[in-house]
Structure 1
């Protein structure tokens, strides 16, 4: 949608937004969305399915084609929904959008006068206009309430894609992960009864302990991956045979357990700080694998 360059600002339709000159500095909101979507390896079609927005709307957002979009109040809702899904800053994205558009001042309605010319018309037409304006305001408030309820938490109705025949169970969020009941207890050994270990053994990194425990469990044929989502995050887990053990958006306050798959496992999180991970009963620190955009990639079991 393009505007006639011969029209003055006063001739624009009420409520229409006029593009402002792009500022120099931070990337445009469209460029930020496109880069984050590509980093998450999502196509426009996949992203549209997750956000419930049309592909044409997403293309206009990524191209900063504000003229092809609806009123700014709806566009800001689109940006908030996309930012939460991709782990971007909502306020930063909205600020970049506000810096590139400005809201046109609505024109003052012309007064309706009687034939005498000095007194405003208070006839039935004026009352009808008042009722129409009130209905528009009520409808707008109802729409904003609906948008807020459907985007907080983001995409509450979004279905998580799962691959059949994979043992994934959903349990209520808990403050601590319990050791899976199905994991076999370690077999007793005939090691010497020496209980004194070198002091240096207490400083072994957590990742080393997780690696040893994972190796023991894998040697016994067991594999258990526990995930607790404190915040909403995209997650994708593939095994060595290329099977997708988990792929989708997980809401905050839920937990997942994966007990099948051929190691090593390839794991990706779209919002790593919001995820607590355990592999075969041992916690896995995601900090060393977390990037500046809050995503993380790692392979389980970990290697020293």
Structure 2
């Protein structure tokens, strides 16, 4: 009966109380013990009260207890066993809580990283769709703008050619083909009054206007380049991004106002005459008139 009670009392004794009793038996003060262990006075007091800092790892606590027991010449195993009996379960719970907290924080960090990845991917897809839409839509617009201009110019030339083949023009042409002496007298200055009225009013001025008002602009692209071309009438005859190797021919009234994103990758001809673009810098937007004004 006495043995069982004594064993129970030993099991209830805390590690700090074992250390304090051993220090008092040696008649040492807490300050003397701290000085011999080269530890802080507050740490020695917390060990004897069996109250430890929550931020202090159990591994360091066991090391301090072992050093203190060795200094006091008592069993290190008894001190450590007493510590484990009263603090072992608490330390395990604390470690589990820390592990759960770390896992939760890690999952939150991973979720934020995945969200950022999805956001960047969505932005890149949006930019790709915008680029595709601009490229194809602008190309369609350029085709729609250039085709009516060419058709209108052809219709204008056809209409004017039909108008020039009227009876008066035929009569005039037949008279010009006849090179006899009688014709010389008819078209002589003194006999100009005898020329029929309908022949005298015929003029080639409209023909000259039609030829001069329709100019062909040819552009060859060695690399991708953005362009904007407006003729003298204010009509936009070309616009958008052209691919490398593309050959473009448009018609309109000169001079043309041309804007190029990169003039060094473009060759321009006006009515089959090359235009000098050597004065423009590479990679810089250039705006000029064709023909180039000196």
* TM-score, normalization by structure 1: 0.35
Normalised TM-score (structure 2)? 0.36
> Where is the helix percentage greater, Structure 1 or Structure 2?
2
Q: Does 1 or 2 have the higher relative contact order (CA < 8 Å, sep 6+)?
A: 1
